[in-house]
A and B are shown apart, each in its own frame.
Chain A
C-alpha cells in the first residue's frame, strides 16, 4: 500500500509524546516526495489516456492515486508543523541559546525559523511594559520572594548579578540570589531551587 513511509514519519514524532525534537528525517521526506512524484506522473499519463481514448474505467484508479497524493501531503505538512511546534517550545524552555546537540537535530530552514521566532518574540516583549519591555518568559510560576536559595548542579563558570558582583557557579555550591537572574538557569537544570 502507498504512504507507508509517510506514516512512519508521523510515528517517529508520536513516539516522543513529551515534545522532544528528534533528528530531522531528511531521507524520509525525500522518499515520500519521490513517491508523490511517481504517483503524480502515473496519474498524468492516465488522465491523458482517459481523455484522449475515452477510457473512463481508469477514473477510479486516478482517484485512488489522488487520495494517496493527498495523504502524503497531509503527513508531510503535519510532520513539519509539529516539529515547528516543538522548536517553538524549545525557545520557552531552553531560552534563546539552544545546546548544539539540539541544533543538530534541526534542518537549516528550521534553524532560520527559530531565529525569526526569537526575533518576533523579542520585538513583542520590548513593546510591552513601557520603556524596558517585559520578559514574559520569566515568572512562569507566581513569585513568592525576591531572592531565592539555589544550589548549583554542575559547573557553569562565572555569573554576574546586577550590582556587579561575580559569583562562581561550582557544582554543589549554594547561593542566595535574585530570583529573576536564576529562573532561566533553574529551568535549564543548571541550578536547583532549594526550599527549606
Chain B
C-alpha cells in the first residue's frame, strides 16, 4: 500500500465545515441566489449592474456561501437565501425517481456538500432537501463502489465524470484499495518503490524544462 505522508485536512462532516480544509473553503466559494432584506450602504460598487452607491434592500444578487452564512440571521432581517435549482421540488422528484442517471458534476460539483450547508438557512423545505440528498447518495453509492472496485488498469475518466466531488474521493479510495490488493496478490507488496512524490516532482521538472 502506498503510504501517505501528505495528509491534508479533510472536509467537515454534514453541516460542519473544517476551518483549515481546502475542500471546505472551495465548497463555500460556491454561489447562491440571495435577496438582501436590508440595505448595504457604500457597497454599491460590488453590484456591477447598477451605479448605485449603496446596495438597496430587496436586491437579488448571487453571494458566495461563506458570505451568506456570515450575514444570515434567523430573523431574516439581513438576508434571505433562495434554493438553487438542483435542490428545488422539480429536481428533487428527478432524484427520487432515479438518482444514478444525473450528472452530479455538472449540477454543481459539490452537490452533497452544498446541500448539507443549505440546511443552515432555515428553509421550510429543509427536511425534504436533507432526505433527498441522503437518498441520492444511497442510490448512487452502489454504482460508485462497484466501478471503483472493478476498474483495474483502465482509463476511468468516463466513470468519474458524472460524479460529485465527494463521490470522486470515494472512487479514488476504492481504486487505491483495489490496486494495493492486486499488488499484494502479485507478490509485489514488499517491493520497495520510489516515493510517488519524488517521481511526480521529477516528471514536473522535466516538463518545466521542456516548456
Interchain CB contact under 8 A, A85 and B8:
yes
- B131 in contact (CB, < 8 A): no
Q: List 15 A-B contacts (CB under 8 A).
A: A1-B64, A7-B26, A18-B196, A19-B8, A71-B70, A77-B20, A78-B22, A90-B197, A92-B5, A93-B195, A101-B205, A142-B190, A187-B195, A189-B194, A192-B194
Interchain CB contact under 8 A, A140 and B3:
yes
Which residues from B are CB-within-8-Å of A188? 194-195, 198
How far does the alpha carbon of A65 sit from the alpha carbon of B84 in the complex, in Å?
Answer: 25
Nearest-neighbour CB distance to chain A for B35, whole angstroms, equals 13
- B9 in contact (CB, < 8 A): yes
The residues in A between 86 and 124 inclusive whose CB is less than 8 angstroms from any CB of B are 86, 88-90, 92-94, 101-102
Residues of B within 8 A of A (CB): 3, 5-9, 19-23, 25-26, 29, 38-43, 46, 64, 66-67, 70-71, 78, 188-202, 204-205
- A176 in contact (CB, < 8 A): no
Interchain CB contact under 8 A, A19 and B6:
yes
Interchain CB contact under 8 A, B194 and A85:
no
Interchain CB contact under 8 A, B40 and A64:
yes
- A54 in contact (CB, < 8 A): no
| CB nearest to B172 among chain A residues | A17
- A159 in contact (CB, < 8 A): no
Q: State which of A30-38, A55-63, A126-134, A161-169 sits at the interface with chain B.
A: A55-63
Interchain CB contact under 8 A, B202 and A141:
no
- A143 in contact (CB, < 8 A): yes
Nearest-neighbour CB distance to chain A for B4, whole angstroms, equals 8
- A156 in contact (CB, < 8 A): no
**Contact of A195 with B188 at beta-carbon distance under 8 Å, contacts A18-B6, A20-B204, A64-B40 already known:** yes
| CB nearest to A79 among chain B residues | B22
Interchain CB contact under 8 A, B5 and A77:
no
Residues of A within 8 A of B (CB): 1-2, 7, 10-11, 13-14, 18-20, 46, 57-58, 60-61, 63-64, 66-68, 70-71, 74-75, 77-78, 81-82, 85-86, 88-90, 92-94, 101-102, 140-144, 148, 182-183, 186-189, 192-193, 195
Which residues from B are CB-within-8-Å of A144? 190
Q: Pick the contact of B5: A71, A74, A93, A148 (CB < 8 A).
A: A93
How far does the alpha carbon of A20 sit from the alpha carbon of B204 in the complex, in Å?
Answer: 10
**Contact of A148 with B192 at beta-carbon distance under 8 Å, contacts A67-B67, A90-B197 already known:** yes
Interchain CB contact under 8 A, B6 and A61:
no
How far does the alpha carbon of A196 sit from the alpha carbon of B9 in the complex, in Å?
Answer: 40
| CB nearest to B23 among chain A residues | A14
How far does the alpha carbon of A186 sit from the alpha carbon of B191 in the complex, in Å?
Answer: 10
Which residues from A are CB-within-8-Å of B29? 7
Which residues from A are CB-within-8-Å of B9? 78, 81-82, 85
Which residues from A are CB-within-8-Å of B205? 101
